[in-house]
C-alpha cells in the first residue's frame, strides 16, 4: 500500500525545468498535427479494456455488464435450473469486440460466480488475486522475451467493479477484507448493487457509512487520491470521491415504454425504474466514469503503477521461487515464506504486509 | 470451502458461435422476450457490426490469431455506449505528457544543417558556425522546448561536427553509430531496471536522421554510402540534397534519379513514408532543399514551386512524426534490444529447444554474480583480517620498545639519584667534619688567647713587682 503512496504520478511527465525557455516560433509549424496522427493511429489499432465484476450471486452483476455495454455480453443473466451453483469460486471470462463510429474496442469481462456464496468464505479473494496476478505474469513474460511482439496483447484487469449488497448498514467484514487486498493490486470501483431496494435517504446514509469504512481501513479505491496530477484532476476526482463513490446502481437489460420513449428499466407494480435516469439511480455516472472519461486513466494506472509494482516484486523474488521451464507459478500476494535470508526488500515488504494486516 | 490456489480460467466456449458472413442486420443473441410492444429491435441509434469472424483490423496480425483462438465474437449494441471519446482521452493524456522528438543531422560542415532546422521549426536556435579543423567527428546535442497552442514538444537536435573534414575519413561514421547505440542502450537499461519509471523517462532515441548530401551533381560519395549503410538498420534515414539552388533543375532531377538508383542498388534502407491512408502518398523521400541565407527570404522559400521544403516540413512534422517515433521504437529499438540481449547471453530457447525464459538466464547470471560477490567479500574479509593482524603486531612491537625505553630511563634515573644521594652524604659528612674542626679550632683559639692574656698579665705583674 505504501508503494502506492510513494510511487509518483503515473500519467504525466512534467519536464523538469527546461534547459532553455520555450522558443519563440515565427509562425505556425504544424506540431499540433501530431494529435491527429495519434488519433488516426488509435483508430487503426483499436483499444482494449478488461473489466472484472466481483460480488455475490444475485446482485445483478451480469445484468449490469449487459447494461453498460448495451448488449448481451452474457448469454443469460439468470442461472438456469439445471446448472448447480458453483461450489468453488471460478472465474469466467468472455471477450467481445464492439465497434462504435469506426472505433473498435476489445472488451473482456471476467465474472466471479460463487464469490462469497459459501459458508466459509475464508480466502475467497485468493482465486481473484491469483487471476489478476496471472494476467500480470503473462504480460511480464511477453515483455521479457527477446523477440517480442509488436503489440503485446493486454489482458490485465484494468478495473474491478465490486458489488456491495444493499444492506443499508455498512461494509461487511468480507467486503472489507476483499477490498483491502484488492485495492493494492488493481483499480477497484465499489458500487451499491440493487439500489432500488433503498430509498434515497437510505442510499445517502449507506454511502457515507461506506466512505467512513473505507477511510478507517485505509482502502484507496479508484480514483486514487495520490495519482491526481493537476488541480483540475483533483477537483474532478475529489468530487467523485466525496459525493459519488460508491455509485448506487441499478441494472436492467429489458426495455419498457415510458412516455413514448423506449428505455431500459425495471418494471415493478408501482412504476418503472429507469436505469438511465439520474434521478432514479447513478448508473449513468458509473458508465461515464468507466467509459467516457476515465477509461484511459484506468489503463494508465494499471500499466504504470500496478503492473510496475507487480514487476518489482516479481523480479526481486524471482531467485527464490523454484525454477521451472519458463513460467513459474506464482502464489497469490501473501507474505512470502523466505527460504534464505536473501532479499531484504522482500522481507521488509512481508513485514509491511503483516503490519497492514493488523491495522 | 474456498477453492484451491489455482485459478481456473474458463473462456466460455459453449456460449460463442462464430457466425457466417450472412446476417448483416440481425442482432446477436436471443430476441428480447419481454419487449412488450412490437416495435423493431433496432432503435435509430443502433450500430451493427458487419459480421466477420476476425474482428480486429488485419494489420495487427498477432491479435488476429489470438482472436480466433479465444473465439471472440462481435457484439451488436443496441444503444450508444459512448466510447468514441477514447481517442480524445488518449490525446488528453498525451498533451499532458508532452511529446518528444529527436532529430539527427548528418552532413558536412557548412552544408546547411542548422539553417534547415531553423527554418523547419520557424525559429532561430542559437548556433555558432563550427570550424573545419576538428580532429575527429563529434556530435553535439541540444534540447529545445517548443510549444504550439497546447502541444508541448521537446525537440532534441543532434548535429555532427566535423563530418567529412578529416583527411582520413575512415572513422567518420563510427561516432554517429556509437551515439545512436548509446541512446538505445540507455533506454534498454532503463527498461531492464527493477524499479523503473518509463513514463517519465526522457526518450533520447533518435527518431529520424536527416542525411545531407552535397549537390555534386554526379553520384553518391563513398563516405555517404558507407555512412548510410551503417545507419540504415538503426534509424530512419531521410536523405536530402542540400543547397539545391546551386545546380540547375534538370541536373537536379538527374541527380535525384541517380541517387535513388544507387541507394536501391546498394541496399540502403531509407525511410518509407506510410502510404495507406495518407492524403499525399509519397514514397520517394529524396527531396531537395534550399536553405535561406537569412530569415527574411523565408516567404520566398516557402513557395512550393521553388523547392520541396514545405513538403519536407509537412512530411516530417505534420504527417509522420508519430509514425517515425513508432518505427524507431517498434523496429529499430527492438532490433537493437534483441541483438544486445543475445550478445549478453540470453536467449529464448535453451539448448534442448525448450522455451527458456529471460527469467532463468537472468537468475542464473544473478546466482553467478551472487557467488562472485560472496567470494569477493570473503577475500576482502581475509585481507582485512590479515591487515589487522599485521597492524597489531607492529603496534605491539612499538609498545614493547617503548616499555624497554621506559625501563632503561627509569634505571638511569635511579642510578643518578643514588649517585646524588651519595654525594650529598659525603657533603654532609664534610660539613659535619668541618664544623667540628671549626669548633675545636675556636676552642683552641680562645684557649690560646686566654693563655696569652694570662701570660701578658703575668708579665705585667712581674714588671710591677720588680718596680716595687
Residue, of B444 and B295, whose pLDDT is higher: B444
The arithmetic mean of pLDDT across residues A136-148, rounded, is: 84
Confidence class for position B130, pLDDT limits 50, 70, 90 = low
Q: Answer yes or no: is pLDDT of B233 > 60.
A: yes
Confidence class for position B29, pLDDT limits 50, 70, 90 = very low
Compute the distance between CA of residue B453 and CA of residue B459 in angstroms, rounded to an integer.
Answer: 10
Same domain, B94 and B176: yes
Q: Answer yes or no: is pLDDT of B152 > 80.
A: yes
The arithmetic mean of pLDDT across residues B210-233, rounded, is: 83
* Structural domain contains residue B23: no
The arithmetic mean of pLDDT across residues A338-354, rounded, is: 39
Same domain, B266 and B211: yes
A52 Cβ neighbours under 8 A, 6+ residues apart:
A109, A110, A111, A112, A128, A131, A132, A157, A159, A160, A161, A186
Per the prediction, chain B carries an average pLDDT of 72
Say what percent of chain B tops pLDDT 90: 15
Q: Is some CB atom of chain A closer than 8 A to the CB atom of B311?
A: no
Contact B94 A38 (CB under 8 A): yes
Compute the distance between CA of residue B374 and CA of residue A319 in angstroms, rounded to an integer.
Answer: 16
Instruction: Give per-residue pLDDT as tens, B60-93.
Output: 334 444 433 344 556 666 667 777 778 888 888 8
Contact B87 A39 (CB under 8 A): yes
Please give the residue of chain B at the shortest CA–CA distance from A232: B96
- pTM exceeds 0.80: no
Minimum mean pLDDT range among A212-216, A324-328, B111-115? A324-328
Pick the most confident of B11-25, B42-56, B425-439.
Answer: B425-439
Chain A residues whose beta carbon lies within 8 Å of the beta carbon of residue B151: 31-32, 34-35
pLDDT at B410: 95
pLDDT at B382: 93
Contact B99 A31 (CB under 8 A): yes
Per the prediction, chain A carries an average pLDDT of 74
DSSP B245: G
Residue, of B13 and B286, whose pLDDT is higher: B286
* Structural domain contains residue B115: yes
* Structural domain contains residue B137: yes
Q: Which of A17, A38, A102 to mutate to test the interface with B (most CBs of B within 10 A)?
A: A38
Same domain, B141 and B109: yes
Chain B residues whose beta carbon lies within 8 Å of the beta carbon of residue A326: 354-357, 359-360
Please give the residue of chain A at the shortest CA–CA distance from B188: A144
Pick the most confident of A108-122, A224-238, B270-284.
Answer: A108-122
Contact B83 A41 (CB under 8 A): no
Chain B residues whose beta carbon lies within 8 Å of the beta carbon of residue A26: 122-123, 295, 298
Instruction: Give per-residue pLDDT as tens, A294-306.
Output: 888 888 889 988 9
Helices (H), B112-209: 113-120, 174-192
pLDDT at A66: 83
Q: Is some CB atom of chain A closer than 8 A to the CB atom of B17?
A: no
Compute the distance between CA of residue A45 and CA of residue A152 in angstroms, rounded to an integer.
Answer: 12
pLDDT at B391: 95
* Structural domain contains residue B67: no
Q: Is some CB atom of chain A closer than 8 A to the CB atom of B343?
A: no
* Structural domain contains residue B460: no
Contact A93 B152 (CB under 8 A): no
Contact A153 B62 (CB under 8 A): yes
Residue, of B81 and A185, whose pLDDT is higher: A185
Residue, of B438 and A38, whose pLDDT is higher: B438
Say what percent of chain A tops pLDDT 70: 75
pLDDT at A84: 53
Tell me, letter by letter, the H, E, C secondary structure of chain A: CHHHHHCCCCCCCCCCCCCCCCCCCCCCCCCCHHHHHHHHHHHHHCEEEEEEEECCCCCCHHHHHHHHCCCCCCCCCCCCCCCCCCCCCCEEEEEEEEEECCEEEEEEEEECCCCCCCCCCCCCCHHHHHHHHHHHHHHHHHHHCCCCCCCCCCCCCCEEEEEECCCCCCCCHHHHHHHHHHCCCCCEEEEECCHHHCCHHHHHHHHHHHHHHHHHCCCCCCCCHHHCCCHHHHHHHHHHHHHHCCEECCCCCCEEEECCEEEEEEEECCEEEECCCCCCCCHHHHHHHHHHHCHHHHHHHHHHHHHHHHHHHHHHHCCCCCCCCCCCCCCCCCCCCCCCCCCHHHHHHHHHHHHHHHC
Q: Answer yes or no: is pLDDT of B25 > 70.
A: no
Q: Answer yes or no: is pLDDT of B11 > 70.
A: no
The arithmetic mean of pLDDT across residues B118-134, rounded, is: 70
Same domain, B293 and B420: no
pLDDT at B7: 35
Same domain, B370 and B326: no
Report the gap between the CA of B55 and the closest CA in chain A (Å). Answer: 7
Give the Cβ contact number of residue A338 at 10 Å.
13
Contact B60 A151 (CB under 8 A): yes
Compute the distance between CA of residue B444 and CA of residue A109 in angstroms, rounded to an integer.
Answer: 144
The arithmetic mean of pLDDT across residues A19-23, rounded, is: 51
Chain B residues whose beta carbon lies within 8 Å of the beta carbon of residue A144: 357-359
Helix, strand, coil tally for chain B in percent (to 5): 50, 10, 40
Same domain, B276 and B368: no
Q: Answer yes or no: is pLDDT of A346 > 60.
A: no
Same domain, B268 and B413: no
Minimum mean pLDDT range among B166-180, B296-310, B383-397? B296-310
The arithmetic mean of pLDDT across residues A14-31, rounded, is: 54
Confidence class for position A158, pLDDT limits 50, 70, 90 = very high
Q: Is some CB atom of chain A closer than 8 A to the CB atom of B87?
A: yes
Q: Is some CB atom of chain B closer than 8 A to the CB atom of A327?
A: yes
Residue, of B306 and A33, whose pLDDT is higher: A33
Residue, of A28 and A65, whose pLDDT is higher: A65
Same domain, B367 and B427: yes
Question: Tell me, what's the ipTM?
Answer: 0.72
Instruction: Give per-residue pLDDT as tens, B325-379.
Output: 888 888 889 889 888 888 877 665 544 434 445 556 666 777 888 888 999 999 9
Same domain, B169 and B286: yes
Q: How far is CA B105 from CA A7, A28, B102, B114, B245, in A?
A: 38, 22, 10, 8, 20
* Structural domain contains residue B422: yes
User: Which of A89, A122, A326 is closest, CB to CB, to B356?
Assistant: A326
Q: Is some CB atom of chain B closer than 8 A to the CB atom of A257?
A: yes
Q: What are phi and psi of A43, to 5 degrees?
A: -65, -35
Query: Do residues A191 and A248 make contact, with C-beta atoms less than 8 angstroms apart?
Result: yes
Q: Is some CB atom of chain A closer than 8 A to the CB atom of B29?
A: yes
The arithmetic mean of pLDDT across residues A140-145, rounded, is: 84
Same domain, B393 and B302: no
pLDDT at B129: 65
Minimum mean pLDDT range among A163-172, A195-204, A224-233, B204-213? A224-233
The arithmetic mean of pLDDT across residues B282-306, rounded, is: 39
Query: Do residues A136 and A83 make contact, with C-beta atoms less than 8 angstroms apart?
Result: no
Residue, of A232 and A8, whose pLDDT is higher: A232
Query: Do residues B56 and A97 make contact, with C-beta atoms less than 8 angstroms apart?
Result: yes
Q: Which residue, B157, B144, B158, B150, is CA-closest to B97?
A: B150
Domains (range + CATH), chain A: 35-76+85-111+124-247+282-318 (3.40.50.300)
Residue, of A321 and B458, whose pLDDT is higher: B458
Q: Is some CB atom of chain B closer than 8 A to the CB atom of A238?
A: no
pLDDT at B266: 83
Q: Is some CB atom of chain A closer than 8 A to the CB atom of B39?
A: yes
Provide the domain limits for residue B394.
363-440
Q: Is some CB atom of chain B closer than 8 A to the CB atom of A91?
A: yes
Q: Answer yes or no: is pLDDT of B280 > 50.
A: no
Report the gap between the CA of A132 and the closest CA in chain B (Å). Answer: 10
Number of CB pairs, chain A paired with chain B, less than 8 A apart? 330
Helix axis angle for A307-317 and A126-144, nearest 10°, is: 80
Please give the residue of chain A at the shortest CA–CA distance from B352: A325
Please give the residue of chain A at the shortest CA–CA distance from B48: A99
The arithmetic mean of pLDDT across residues A174-189, rounded, is: 88
Q: What's the number of domains chain B is made of?
A: 2
Helices (H), B276-320: 298-301, 309-313
Chain B residues whose beta carbon lies within 8 Å of the beta carbon of residue A153: 62-63, 66
User: Where does residue B222 rank: exposed (0-12), middle (13-18), buried (19+ CB within 10 A)?
Assistant: exposed
Q: Answer yes or no: is pLDDT of A322 > 70.
A: no
Q: Is some CB atom of chain B closer than 8 A to the CB atom of A80?
A: no
Q: Is some CB atom of chain A closer than 8 A to the CB atom of B339?
A: no
Please give the residue of chain B at the shortest CA–CA distance from A293: B89
Report the gap between the CA of B397 and the closest CA in chain A (Å). Answer: 42
Same domain, B435 and B375: yes
* Structural domain contains residue B195: yes
Grid coordinates representing A124 are: 475467497
Same domain, B208 and B337: yes
* Structural domain contains residue B40: no
Q: Is some CB atom of chain B closer than 8 A to the CB atom of A46?
A: yes
Instruction: Give per-residue pLDDT as tens, A275-295.
Output: 888 888 888 888 888 888 888
Window B:146-205, CB contacts with A under 8 Å: 146-149, 151-154, 194-202
Q: Answer yes or no: is pLDDT of A235 > 50.
A: yes
pLDDT at B117: 80
pLDDT at B387: 95
Chain B residues whose beta carbon lies within 8 Å of the beta carbon of residue A10: 199
Amino acid at each position: 500500500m505504501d508503494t502506492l503512496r510513494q510511487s509518483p504520478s503515473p500519467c504525466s511527465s512534467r519536464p523538469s525545468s527546461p534547459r532553455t525557455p520555450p522558443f519563440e516560433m515565427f509562425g505556425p509549424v504544424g506540431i499540433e498535427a501530431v494529435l491527429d496522427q495519434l488519433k488516426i493511429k488509435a483508430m487503426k489499432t483499436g483499444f482494449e479494456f478488461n473489466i472484472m465484476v466481483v460480488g455475490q450471486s444475485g446482485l445483478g452483476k451480469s445484468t449490469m455488464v449487459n447494461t453498460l455495454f448495451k448488449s448481451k455480453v452474457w448469454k443469460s443473466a439468470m442461472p438456469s435450473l439445471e446448472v448447480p451453483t458453483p461450489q468453488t469460486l471460478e472465474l469466467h471470462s468472455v471477450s467481445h469486440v464492439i465497434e462504435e463510429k469506426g472505433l473498435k474496442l476489445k472488451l473482456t469481462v471476467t465474472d466471479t460466480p460463487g464469490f462469497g456464496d459459501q459458508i466459509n468464505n475464508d480466502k475467497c479473494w485468493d482465486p481473484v488475486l491469483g487471476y489478476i496476478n496471472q494476467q500480470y505474469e503473462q504480460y511480464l513474460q511477453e515483455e521479457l522475451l527477446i523477440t517480442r511482439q509488436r503489440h503485446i496483447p493486454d489482458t490485465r484487469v484494468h478495473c474491478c467493479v465490486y458489488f456491495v449488497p444493499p444492506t443499508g448498514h455498512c461494509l461487511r467484514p468480507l467486503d472489507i477484507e476483499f477490498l483491502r487486498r484488492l485495492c493494492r493490486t488493481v483499480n477497484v470501483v465499489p458500487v451499491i448493487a440493487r439500489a432500488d431496494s433503498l430509498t434515497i435517504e437510505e442510499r445517502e446514509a449507506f454511502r457515507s457509512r461506506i466512505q467512513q469504512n473505507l477511510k478507517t481501513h485505509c482502502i484507496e479505491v479508484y480514483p486514487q487520491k495520490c495519482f491526481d496530477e493537476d488541480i483540475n484532476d483533483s477537483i474532478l476526482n475529489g468530487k467523485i470521491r466525496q459525493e459519488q463513490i460508491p455509485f448506487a446502481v441499478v441494472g436492467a437489460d429489458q426495455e419498457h415504454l415510458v412516455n413514448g420513449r423506449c428505455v431500459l428499466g425495471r418494471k415493478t407494480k408501482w412504476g418503472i425504474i429507469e436505469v438511465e435516469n439520474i434521478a432514479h439511480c447513478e448508473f449513468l455516472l458509473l458508465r461515464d466514469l468507466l467509459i467516457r472519461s476515465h477509461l484511459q486513466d484506468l489503463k494508465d494506472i494499471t500499466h504504470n503503477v500496478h503492473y510496475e509494482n507487480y514487476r518489482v516484486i516479481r523480479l526481486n523474488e524471482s531467485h527464490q521461487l523454484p525454477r521451472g521451464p519458463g513460467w513459474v507459478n506464482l502464489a497469490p500476494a501473501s507474505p512470502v515464506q523466505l527460504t534464505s535470508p536473501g532479499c531484504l526488500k522482500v522481507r521488509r515488504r512481508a513485514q509491511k504486509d503483516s503490519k497492514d494486516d493488523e491495522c | 470451502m474456498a477453492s484451491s490456489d489455482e485459478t481456473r480460467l474458463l473462456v466460455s466456449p459453449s456460449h460463442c458461435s462464430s457466425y457466417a458472413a450472412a446476417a448483416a442486420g440481425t442482432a446477436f443473441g436471443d430476441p428480447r422476450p419481454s419487449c412488450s410492444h412490437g416495435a423493431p429491435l433496432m432503435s435509430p441509434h443502433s450500430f451493427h457490426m458487419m459480421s466477420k469472424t476476425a474482428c480486429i483490423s488485419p494489420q495487427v496480425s498477432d491479435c488476429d490469431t489470438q482472436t480466433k483462438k479465444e473465439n471472440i465474437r462481435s457484439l451488436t449494441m443496441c444503444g450508444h455506449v459512448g466510447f468514441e471519446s477514447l481517442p480524445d482521452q488518449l490525446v488528453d493524456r498525451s498533451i499532458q505528457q508532452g511529446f518528444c522528438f529527436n532529430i539527427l543531422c548528418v552532413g558536412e560542415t557548412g552544408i546547411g544543417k542548422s539553417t534547415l532546422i531553423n527554418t523547419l521549426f520557424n525559429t532561430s536556435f542559437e548556433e555558432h558556425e563550427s570550424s573545419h579543423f576538428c580532429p575527429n567527428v563529434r556530435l553535439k546535442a541540444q534540447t529545445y522546448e517548443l510549444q504550439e497552442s497546447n502541444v508541448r514538444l521537446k525537440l532534441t537536435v543532434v548535429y555532427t561536427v566535423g563530418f567529412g573534414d578529416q583527411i582520413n575519413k575512415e572513422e567518420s561514421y563510427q561516432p554517429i553509430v556509437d551515439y545512436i547505440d548509446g541512446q538505445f542502450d540507455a533506454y534498454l537499461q532503463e527498461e531492464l531496471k527493477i524499479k523503473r519509471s518509463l513514463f517519465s523517462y526522457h526518450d533520447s532515441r533518435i527518431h529520424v536522421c536527416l542525411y545531407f548530401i552535397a549537390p555534386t551533381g554526379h553520384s553518391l560519395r563513398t563516405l555517404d554510402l558507407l555512412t548510410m549503410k551503417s545507419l540504415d538498420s538503426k534509424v530512419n534515414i531521410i536523405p536530402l540534397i542540400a543547397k539545391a539552388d546551386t545546380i540547375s533543375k534538370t541536373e537536379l532531377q538527374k541527380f535525384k534519379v541517380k541517387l535513388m538508383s544507387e541507394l536501391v542498388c546498394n541496399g540502403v534502407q531509407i525511410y518509407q513514408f506510410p502510404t495507406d491512408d495518407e492524403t499525399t502518398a509519397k514514397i520517394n523521400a529524396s527531396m531537395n532543399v534550399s536553405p535561406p541565407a537569412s530569415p527574411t527570404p523565408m516567404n520566398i522559400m516557402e513557395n512550393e514551386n521553388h523547392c520541396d521544403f514545405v513538403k519536407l516540413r509537412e512530411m516530417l512534422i505534420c504527417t509522420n512524426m508519430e509514425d517515425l517515433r513508432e518505427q524507431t521504437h517498434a523496429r529499430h529499438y527492438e532490433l537493437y534490444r534483441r541483438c544486445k540481449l543475445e550478445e549478453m547471453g540470453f536467449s529464448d530457447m535453451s539448448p534442448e529447444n525448450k522455451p527458456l525464459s529471460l527469467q532463468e538466464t537472468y537468475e542464473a547470471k544473478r546466482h553467478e554474480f551472487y557467488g562472485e560477490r560472496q567470494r569477493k567479500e570473503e577475500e576482502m574479509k581475509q585481507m582485512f583480517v590479515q591487515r589487522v593482524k599485521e597492524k597489531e603486531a607492529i603496534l605491539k612491537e612499538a609498545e614493547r620498545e617503548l616499555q624497554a625505553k621506559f625501563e632503561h630511563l627509569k634505571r638511569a634515573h635511579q642510578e643518578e639519584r643514588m649517585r646524588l644521594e651519595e654525594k650529598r652524604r659525603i657533603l654532609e659528612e664534610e660539613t659535619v667534619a668541618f664544623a667540628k674542626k671549626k669548633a675545636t679550632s675556636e676552642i683552641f683559639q680562645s684557649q690560646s688567647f686566654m693563655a696569652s692574656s694570662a701570660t701578658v698579665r703575668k708579665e705585667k705583674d712581674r714588671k710591677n713587682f720588680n718596680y716595687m
